[in-house]
Chains A and B, each alone.
Chain A
Amino acid sequence: MIIAEQKPLDEIMEMISGVEKLLVLGCRGCVAVCSAGGDKEVGVLASALRLGRKKAGKPIEIDEETYVRQCDPEYLEPLKEDGKKYDAVLSMACGVGVNFIADRCPGVNVLPALNTTFYGANLSSGEWAEMCAGCGACILHLTGGLCPVARCAKSLSNGPCGGSVGGRCEINKDVPCIWHQICDKLTSRKQDQLLREIVPIRDWRPSGHGGPRRRIREDLLP
């Protein structure tokens, strides 16, 4: 799931300083699941903005709406016209949603309310951690299902660096050394031969270093 978090309120207030009529637009996709931009967060943010503007002596008119998703064209259809009624649309979707609105709804002034952070999992209530970097060339079958590209501070391919102590990463004791875990896992599965083989230098093109990525399934094309 895509994890995001709300921008600091001051930053959002600054962003909408000239706006008099605003639509706070949530998304029921990933950001709702990670409690960053669903119905509830839309309500809370809208109220906070109303209060903030009222206090500043510049009251604002805010409507609230939450779409099923902001990353599929059919759901954005109503926004094409409705969005023009507002000075700005504050999207609480991930960056994909904001971009897609900007692409698909000309004339709508879309602003981001969230910082999109990573692809992660919900460790426990209120806690999320990065699990995948979307690098486009998965090697998890070689690493016991644990991703060194996303979860190693240096994205190492060939084992833990010299800073791994007691199963912790050198950059922060709160960060587990994923390579230590990979070593343990492969050793216990008797796959430690994998640890002895040199993993060749990566091709980073699928990771986005070859330019913006696109996926096409020809059989599904219209």
Chain B
Amino acid sequence: MISGSNLEQVLISGRFAVTGELGPPQNGNFDVVRDKARILKGHVDAVNITDCQTAIVRMSSLTAGLIALAEGVEPVMQMTCRDRNRIGIQSDILGASALGIKNLLCLTGDHQKFGNHPQSKGVFDMDSIQLLDMVKTMRDGKKFQCGDEIKSHEPRFFLGAAANPFADPFEYRPLRVAKKVKAGASFIQTQIIYNVEKFARFMDIVRDLGLHEKVYILAGVTPPKSVGMARYMKKFVPGLDVTDEVIDRLKGAKDPKEEGINICVDIIKQVREIAGVAGVHIMAIEWEQAVPEIVSLAGLSPRPAPRRVDPRLRSSEAIDLIVSKAKEEAKAEIEKTLEQAKAEAQASRDLVLKEKGKITSEVSNLKRQLEEANAIADRKEAEIGRLMKELKETRDGRVHVRSVRRSVSDDADSALSSCSSRALTSLRSGLEALRKGLGINEDQLEALKRLFEVELLLSSDTAEQVTATFDEAPVPVERREKPEADSRHKEVVNLVAKGNVLLHKNDAAGAVDAFERALAIEPEDQKAGEGLKKAKEALEYTVSLEEAEAPAVPEGIPPCPEGMSPEEWQRKWVIRLVAIGNVQLYKGDVDKALKSFKLALELKPDDEKAKAGLLKAESGEAAGVPVPAEPDAPQKAEVPSSPVPKIAKVPEEVKTEAKREVPVTTVPTVIEGLTVFELPKETGTLSEREGSIQENLFKESCTGAIREISLGEGERAIRLGGASTLPFHLFEGDMPHVPQIAFGILDSEPEDWPDVLSKYYSDVFSDPVAWAKKCIDHYGAKAICLSLVSTDPNGMNRPSSEAAKKAQAVIEGIDVPVVLWGCGNAEKDTETLREVTGLIGNRKVCIGPLSDANYRSLGATAMAFHLPVVASSPIDVNLAKQLNILLENLGLSLDQILMDPSIGAIGYGIEYSYSVMERIRLAALTQQDEKLQVPFICNLGREVWKTKECRLPSDAHMGDQEHRGVLMEAITASTLLLAGGELMVMMHPKAVALTEALIKGMV
């Protein structure tokens, strides 16, 4: 037995259970609930008390449940998650348990949108399943939701839940029942059933899952009151399946109400036949009167006599009843006493009357004697005095009569008082019993007493005595004997609590004191003993900590702010000190930095960051904060072993390093004012750098590879391409040949170059051979791209033969690879380039650009001389691919082709270039698009140096013109390198140096 509720007992006994439903009123009317409960009483085993159903404000289910319970009707209290959070719900559950409620139905609750307060904030701190779990844990685990222990009187409820076989997804519904059972439901009440066939299918699955053996399922039914109600439910109540048959039956009926009852009875009979249905839940909404009839017609009456339905609290009416009964008893007794007293009084009165008669007759006797005497005295005046004396004696006799009367009435009064005090004593002990039973406190008892006093005052005139009797009556008080023990115990508890608080506040010494004091009073107290142990440990710990911290404190660690432990504060302070140190170091304030780091190390001697900072500060070096793209940045010392990026190097160093790594035969001269950054090489291995991230999470190997192409001949030939990974993704694949830079030169004096560029070449403008040589000798060029701009028909329009000769001179004058770049006019280029190839014999130069207009003729030339070509297409993946296909169809090998995707400078469409190149490269590497597995050539220098930004003079706003141009060219190049470019054609020597440094740092 879980809670021992009547419903639980009926279900365990195996009888088909019947539950009803009682909707509390939308007001504070006690009678409504009581009357509904009286209608249902004896016809159902328990009654659901709804919790503000459809989100309309009603009397609370707890309150209405108690009223029903007081009427002897067992409530199933409903509890929803809509209106209360876990604090409120648990609190109500404790209250319900205290007052004798034993069944609880756990629901999520209708959304507030449906009710009369759609503006309210829905709580939904948990859902019905979590609610079941919580109440089960309170019951079986004796724990609140937070995990705190419920020390005694844990709430014990027979738990129920709802199920709707008609909601979607249908297949999920039985699984949800299983979840509710797992969470703690012992019984299930279903949504209203009209579609019995669907319910039967639901029960099939329920049985398949074996749930009918773990939970009692009560089928929900409702008698429809009218066709209108049935239609409304069909249309507007979500998850309610009202069949057409039901509507038709109601439509055709003479008395729809009677038919509604019949429908309900029929459904009950049908669901009773379904295996696993343990009972029925009749929801006669605002029609409780129908329930007795339905239960009887369905053959479910009489219900077993309710067991253990005993309210802890009674309604005020029930209390009234008991009180009035006691009052009547008291009154009867008093009346009896009164009657007796009256009779006695009457008897005394009779006695008085008798005496009076006696006296009267005596008086008349005397009168007669007087008359006789008068007759004699008429003549005997002397006898008058004697007669007067006799008259006086008669008067004395009357006084005696009065005193008798008084004594009689005194006797009657005392008899009355003794009787009524007996009655009151019995009343008082009755009340005392009542007080214990109901838990009425002293004040309330006092009030009741006063009530009786008044009643008695009204019914008799012995008020004073009644009051006196009550006042004298000893009221039994149990806890009279042990005040002393109590106060001692209290003090111990107080001290232990104080000790715990102090301990919590880290005042271990104070705590030890408190616990010791507690033990002095009560040496056996366990809690104090434990507390003392803990406090002593804490004290030792604190002392050791203080010793450890001692030197740091005078150095000025600020007081620990509230809400933070001292350790945590210290840790934060160290971080702050290190940060301050780094900032000061960066600012060049070495002294202050030193101080910061030292302070930090004092607080935390093994802090690595602080150590590193101190080391740097001591060597007077700047902290490693990279300041990229600032050619004139002040020269700073380098920290060779430091893992942080290295800074600016002077050109000489660039030069010497280049010399060491590349076997150049000529020595480039220093470029004046050129400052080049060197990117730090990544020193750690991949496995070191990846840390906790698994390799397969970021590594993505490519399946394709870029073809390799050779430019030039002999020792100085360069090879491009070959990559089997995205640019510089060296952790994923190989990049056998680093990208190269060719110096772009012209075959005639440039017309529109800005000074900042032309100043490097103005001495050789007139002679392309000298120009090419200067690039190689002074600036370390590894390839030359000669643009035959002079041949442009729209410009100088130099004859092809003349231009070819100049080109020949250049090609033969240098030993680095050469790219010959036409003027862009397809016809003229065909003519010029053919001319050149005729002149140079076996020298391998790369010719271009080949476009869709001249690829046939130039392609044939290239084929004939085995020359590499530049295939140039407008910026588009498909056009680039198309041109490659055309060239291949022509008979050219893809190994001879460099792709020029048509690029733009930064600020002039570089995003577009990047995106197209990236897509080409992804297609080549990951989708095996063979026609695109070709290296890129990017003729970017000419694009950059014709932009407006490179021509605007130096000013405060735009900065130095040369820096600006150099950076634009270098940034454009670096972007294109990242997009996959293999050969960059550039112009400014500084930009080339920067880009080379970048490449070197990346591979």
Contacts and interface: CB of A to CB of B under 8 A. Distances in A.
A167 B168 CA distance: 7
B178 interface: yes
A15 interface: no
Given A153-B111, A158-B179, A165 B239 contact: yes
Given A163-B167, A184-B169, A171 B125 contact: no
B168 A196 contact: no
A166 B239 CA distance: 9
A154 interface: yes
Contact of A165 (B127, B183, B238): B238
Best-buried of B122, B130, B182 by chain A (most CB within 10 Å)? B130
Contacts of A204: 125
Given A155-B124, A157-B127, A162 B134 contact: no
Contact of B127 (A154, A171, A177): A154
A198 B168 contact: no
B133 interface: yes
B172 interface: yes
Best-buried of A158, A162, A170, A195 by chain B (most CB within 10 Å)? A162
Contacts of A222: 579, 583
Contacts of B786: none
Interface string A185-202: 000000000011011111
Interface in B158-209: 162-164, 167-169, 172, 175-176, 178-179, 182-183, 191
A109 interface: no
A163 B191 CA distance: 11
A199 to B, nearest CB: 8
Given A184-B169, A195-B175, A201-B145, A163 B111 contact: yes
Interface string B126-141: 1111100110000000
Contacts, number: 104
Contact of A164 (B86, B122, B128, B167): B167
Contacts of A183: 169, 172
B575 to A, nearest CB: 7
Contact of B168 (A158, A166, A195, A218): A166
A155 B109 CA distance: 12
B132 to A, nearest CB: 9
Given A170-B111, A201-B126, A221-B579, A162 B167 contact: yes
A159 B161 CA distance: 14
Contacts of B168: 160, 164-167, 177, 180
Contact of A160 (B113, B145, B172, B191): B172
Contact of A162 (B114, B162, B579): B162
B134 A201 contact: yes
B208 to A, nearest CB: 14
B873 interface: no
Given A164-B167, A166-B168, A198-B182, A159 B176 contact: yes
Interface string B72-109: 00000000011000100000000000000000000011
Contact of B169 (A155, A160, A221): A160
B222 to A, nearest CB: 15
Interface string B331-372: 000000000000000000000000000000000000000000
B167 A198 contact: no
B129 A162 contact: no
B108 A154 contact: yes
**Chain B, interface size: which category?**
35 or more
A154 B81 CA distance: 9
Contacts of A163: 110-111, 167, 238-239
A218 B167 CA distance: 50
A156 interface: yes
Contacts of A9: none
A161 interface: yes
A195 B179 CA distance: 9
Given A165-B167, A165-B238, A196 B127 contact: no
A124 to B, nearest CB: 26
A221 B573 CA distance: 13
Contacts of A164: 167-169, 238-239
B436 to A, nearest CB: 40
Contacts of B127: 154, 156-158, 161
A172 B382 CA distance: 129
Contacts of A201: 86, 125-126, 130, 133-134, 145
Nearest to A184: B169
A161 B164 CA distance: 8
A156 B181 CA distance: 18
A167 B110 CA distance: 18
A204 B111 CA distance: 20
Contacts of B583: 222
Nearest to A148: B127
B57 to A, nearest CB: 19
Contact of A158 (B109, B130, B164): B130
Interface in A110-150: none
A196 B177 CA distance: 10
Contacts of B81: 154
Contacts of B183: 198
A196 B167 contact: no
A45 B702 CA distance: 52
B575 A198 contact: no
Nearest to B81: A154
Contacts of B82: 154
Contacts of A156: 108, 124, 127
B124 A198 contact: no
B183 to A, nearest CB: 6
Contacts of A200: 130, 133
Contacts of A161: 108, 127-128, 167
A208 to B, nearest CB: 14
A150 to B, nearest CB: 13
A143 to B, nearest CB: 14
Contacts of B128: 158, 161
Best-buried of B86, B127, B179 by chain A (most CB within 10 Å)? B127
A166 B168 CA distance: 6
Nearest to A204: B125
A198 B175 contact: no
Given A162-B239, A198-B183, A221-B575, A153 B113 contact: yes
B112 to A, nearest CB: 9
Contacts of B109: 154
Interface in A200-216: 200-202, 204
Nearest to A192: B175
Contact of A154 (B111, B145, B162, B169): B111
Contacts of A221: 575, 579
Interface string B116-128: 0000001011111
B115 to A, nearest CB: 12
A159 B179 contact: yes
Contacts of B162: 162
A123 B86 CA distance: 36
B610 to A, nearest CB: 15
Nearest to A195: B175
Interface of A: 153-167, 170-172, 177, 180, 183-184, 195-196, 198-202, 204, 218, 221-222
Q: Which 6 pairs between the two chains have the least Cβ-Cβ distance?
A: A162-B164, A170-B238, A163-B238, A201-B130, A158-B129, A156-B127
28 contacts: A153-B113, A153-B122, A158-B176, A161-B108, A161-B127, A161-B128, A162-B162, A162-B167, A162-B238, A162-B239, A163-B111, A163-B238, A163-B239, A164-B167, A164-B239, A165-B167, A165-B168, A166-B168, A170-B238, A170-B239, A171-B113, A171-B114, A172-B113, A198-B183, A199-B130, A201-B125, A201-B133, A201-B145
Interface of B: 81-82, 86, 108-111, 113-114, 122, 124-130, 133-134, 145, 162-164, 167-169, 172, 175-176, 178-179, 182-183, 191, 238-239, 575, 579, 583
Given A153-B122, A164-B238, A184-B169, 6 more contacts: A154-B81, A157-B126, A160-B168, A161-B167, A171-B114, A201-B145
